[in-house]
Amino acid sequence: MRKKKTHILGWILLLGSTITICSFLFIIIFHLFSQGLPVLSWEFLFGHPKEGLTKGGIFPAIIGTILLTLITTVFAVPFGICCAIYLNEYAGESRLTGIIRASIRNLSGIPSIIYGLFGLALFVQSMRLGTSLLSAGLTLGLLSLPYIITTTEEALKRVPNSTREAALAIGSTQFESIRDFVIPQAMPGIITGIVLTIARVAGETAPILFTGVAFYITGVPGSVKQEFMALPYHLYMLSTQHQSIETVRPLAYGTVTVLILIILMMNMVAFYIRQKFRENE
Amino acid sequence: MSTRFRENTDLFFSKLFKVTGLLTLVLLGGIFFMLLYNSVSFFLDVAPLDFFTGNQWNPGSRGDYGILPLIASTILVTLGSMLIAVPLGIFTAAYMSEFANRRVQRILKPVIEMLAAIPSVAIGFLGIVIIGPGIAKLFGMQNGLNALNGSILLAIMSLPTIVTVAEDAIHAVPMSYKEASLGLGADKWETLFRVTLPAALPGLIAAVMLGLGRAIGETMTVLMATGNSLAFPDGYLDSIRTITATIAIEMGEVPYQTTHYYALFAIATVLFIITLAVNLIGEAIAKYYRKFGA
C-alpha cells in the first residue's frame, strides 16, 4: 500500500515537472505567435516606422540586426577558430592550456551586461569608435568568442587522429594538414557552432544598450560608424519605453514574432547540418 | 612551392594560433582590469563602508550609493527562481534519463534546446503580457511587475542549463549502483530517490550552480518584469531592482567619468565577483565529482 503511494507520487513529480517545462515552451510560442502572426504583413516587414513608431514597419531593425550579426561573425569566427586550433592541435595538455581553458569557461559565465560595459569602455571610449554599429558588433564578438572556441574545439576533437597522421605521412607540414584535411572534415561541426552562436547573438540586448543601438534612425545605417536599430532593443523599447504602450502592443507582438522566427530558423539550419553530417559519418 | 616557404608558413601560423590563444587570457584580464580601474576611481570619491553598508541607492539627487538594496533584490529574485527551477529541472532530468523511452527523449531534447534559444528580451515581454497581469489578478494588485514575476521568468531562463547538466550527471551514475539496489529488492522509485539521485548529487549541485550563475547575470528579463523600484524590498510582491537592471537603466543617462558613472562599474565588479564565485564553486564540485564520484 505504502509502495503504491510512492509510485503515484513519483510519477506525479517526474511527469508533472516534465509537462510543466514543455508547457512553458508551448505557452510562449502559442501566445506570442497567435498575437504576432496576424500583425505580419509586407508593410510591417519592409516598411519604416511612422508617426512616432505607432505605425509602419520594422525594416530598419531587421537590417540592423543582420548587419550587427555580420560584423560579429567577421570578427569572432576567425579569432575563435584560430584559438580552438591552438588548443586542440598545437598546445597539448600543459599548465598554460589549463589556464586558457579556465579563462574561456569563465568568459562564458560573465553576465552579458558586463560585456556591454567593457565594450563601452574599450571600443566606444578608449578606441573612439563612438556608439556605433562597429562598437556594438565588436562587443557582441567578444561575447560570442567562448562559444565559437568551445564548439569549434569539439568539432576538431571528432576528427580522428589517423587523418592528421596520414597527412603528415605524405609530407604535409602541420599547418597544411590542418588546412587541407582537419578543417574540411570538421567543417559541418564548426558551421553548426557558428550558426547557433549567431542565433544567440541576434537576440542579445544588454551588450548593445550603451554601445550603439538607437530608438529610431531614419533609413538604414550607411556606415559602420552610425547608430542602428535592432530587433531585440526595438521590442524592449516598444514594450516598456514607448509613451503609448497599449497602442503599440500589436507592433511589439509582431516584432517578438519576427525575432523568434529568425532565431528558430537558424536553430533549424544548425540542426539540419548536424543531422546531415551524422548521416555521412 | 619551396620547402623553405612551406616551413616558414607553418611556423608563422603556429605562432599566430598561439597568440590568439593567449589573447583570450588578455580579454579576461582586460575585463577584470577595466572593472577594477573604474571601481578604484569610485572609491576615491565614496567610502567603501558607505557603499557596502548603505541601504539607499539614490545617486541622482542625494548622492546615496548604498549597494544593499540592489544586492537584496538580486538575491531575492534569484533565490525565488532557484526554488522554482531546481525541483522542476532535476525531476525532468531524472525522467529524461531514467524513464523516458527513446521516442520521448527525441521530443524532449529539442524542446529544451528551443527553450534555451528564446532570447531573454522575449521572456521579459512574456512577463509583461502574461505573468504580470496573472499575478495582478491573483493578488488583487495594480500591476504584477515584482520579484515573483522576475523569479518565474528567471526560472524559465535557467531551466535549460539545469536540465541539461543534471541529466548528464544522472546518466553518469553507473548501472551497477542501480542493479545492486534493484537486486536488494528496492523498486525503481526507491532506487531513484535513495540511490541514483544521491549518487549524482555533486553533478546536480554543479547544475544548480551553473543555472544560478545564469540567473544572477540576467539583465533584460528582470529589467522588464520586476518594476525597478528603488525601495528596499520586503518580499516577493514588492517591486525590486537588481544590480544588472540598475546598470542597464542608469548607464544610458549618466555623463562619462562622473562618480555616478564609476559607481555603476563598482556594482558591476560586485556582480562579476559573485558570478565568478558561483561558477568556480560549480566547476570545483564538478571536478571533484569526476575524480571521486560515480
The nearest CA of chain A is from the CA of B217 a distance in Å of 4
Chain-centre distance for alpha carbon B181:
35
In chain B, whose CA is at the least distance from the CA of A234? B121
Distance CA(B41)–CA(B37), nearest Å, equals 7
Identify the residue among A5, A89, A106 best suited for mutation to test binding to B, counting B beta carbons within 10 A and taking the highest.
A106
- The partner residue sitting opposite B271, judged by closest CB among A25, A111, A256, is A111
In chain B, whose CA is at the least distance from the CA of A260? B118
Secondary structure letter of residue A228 according to DSSP: B
Contact A142 B272 (CB under 8 A): no
* pLDDT score, position B95: 93
* pLDDT score, position B294: 43
Determine whether B248 is exposed, middle or buried from the number of CB atoms within 10 Å of its CB (0-12, 13-18, 19+).
Answer: buried
Digits of tens for pLDDT over chain B (294 positions)?
A: 688 888 888 899 989 999 999 999 999 999 999 999 999 999 998 888 888 988 888 887 777 888 999 999 999 999 999 999 999 999 999 999 988 888 998 889 889 989 999 999 999 999 999 999 999 999 888 888 889 999 999 999 999 999 999 998 899 888 899 899 999 988 888 889 889 999 898 889 989 999 999 999 999 999 999 988 888 888 888 889 999 999 999 998 888 888 899 999 999 999 999 999 998 888 888 777 665 544
Contact A7 B22 (CB under 8 A): no
Mind giving me the DSSP string for B203-256?
A: HHHHHHHHHHHHHHH--HHHHHHSB---SPP-STTS-B--HHHHHHHHHTTSPT
Residue B160 lies in a domain: yes
Contact A17 B87 (CB under 8 A): yes
Contact B9 A235 (CB under 8 A): no
Picking from A130, A233, A135, A107, the residue whose alpha carbon sits closest to that of residue B248 is A233
Chain A residues touching B187 at Cβ < 8 A: 3, 7
Secondary structure letter of residue A48 according to DSSP: P
Residue B37 lies in a domain: no
Backbone angles phi, psi at B58, to 5 degrees: -150, 70
Contact B10 A118 (CB under 8 A): no
Beta-carbon count within 10 A of A145 CB: 25
Chain B residues touching A144 at Cβ < 8 A: none
Residue B90 lies in a domain: yes
Residue B4 lies in a domain: no
First and final C-alpha spacing in chain B: 54
Beta-carbon count within 10 A of A227 CB: 19
Residue B256 lies in a domain: yes
Which three cell numbers mark B100? 523516458
Q: Which A-chain residues 217-246 have CB contacts (< 8 A) with chain B? A: 232-233, 235-236, 239-240
Q: At what angle do helices A2-36 and B147-171 cross, to 10 degrees?
A: 120
Chain A residues touching B224 at Cβ < 8 A: 236, 239-240
Chain A touched by B117 (CB under 8 Å):
yes
What was the ipTM of the complex prediction?
0.91
Specify whether the CB–CB gap between A203 and B122 falls below 8 A.
Answer: yes
Distance CA(B135)–CA(B130), nearest Å, equals 9
Beta-carbon count within 10 A of B56 CB: 16
Chain-centre distance for alpha carbon A50:
29
Distance CA(B122)–CA(A252), nearest Å, equals 10
* pLDDT score, position B278: 92
Query: Which positions ≥6 away from A279 have C-beta within 8 Å?
Result: none
Number of domains in chain B: 1
The nearest CA of chain B is from the CA of A108 a distance in Å of 10
Residue B144 lies in a domain: yes
In chain A, whose CA is at the least distance from the CA of B220? A206
Chain B touched by A19 (CB under 8 Å):
no
In chain B, whose CA is at the least distance from the CA of A121? B34
- The partner residue sitting opposite B122, judged by closest CB among A18, A114, A260, is A260
Which three cell numbers mark B211? 543555472
In chain B, whose CA is at the least distance from the CA of A198? B117
Digits of tens for pLDDT over chain A (281 positions)?
A: 566 777 888 888 899 999 999 999 999 999 999 999 998 888 888 888 877 777 778 888 999 999 999 999 999 999 999 999 999 988 878 888 889 998 998 899 899 999 999 999 999 988 888 889 999 999 999 999 999 999 999 999 999 999 999 999 998 889 999 999 999 999 989 999 999 999 999 999 999 998 988 887 776 777 778 888 999 999 999 898 887 877 888 899 999 999 999 999 999 998 888 888 776 65
Q: Which B-chain residues 154-183 have CB contacts (< 8 A) with chain A? A: 156, 159, 163
Q: Which A-chain residues 241-260 have CB contacts (< 8 A) with chain B? A: 249, 252, 256, 259-260
Chain B touched by A208 (CB under 8 Å):
no
Chain A touched by B24 (CB under 8 Å):
yes
Chain A residues touching B114 at Cβ < 8 A: 25, 264, 267
Distance CA(A91)–CA(B14), nearest Å, equals 10
Residue B51 lies in a domain: no
Distance CA(A181)–CA(A170), nearest Å, equals 12
Chain B residues touching A82 at Cβ < 8 A: 16-17, 20-21
Beta-carbon count within 10 A of B153 CB: 30
Which three cell numbers mark A237? 523599447
Domain containing residue B262: CATH number: 1.10.3720.10
Residue B40 lies in a domain: no
Query: Which positions ≥6 away from A47 have C-beta within 8 Å?
Result: A56, A57, A58, A59
Query: Which positions ≥6 away from A86 have C-beta within 8 Å?
Result: B17, B18, B20, B21
Beta-carbon count within 10 A of A130 CB: 15
Beta-carbon count within 10 A of A33 CB: 16
* pLDDT score, position B280: 87
Chain-centre distance for alpha carbon A206:
13
Chain B touched by A168 (CB under 8 Å):
no
Q: How is chain B split among helix, strand and coil, in percent rounded to 5?
A: 80, 0, 20
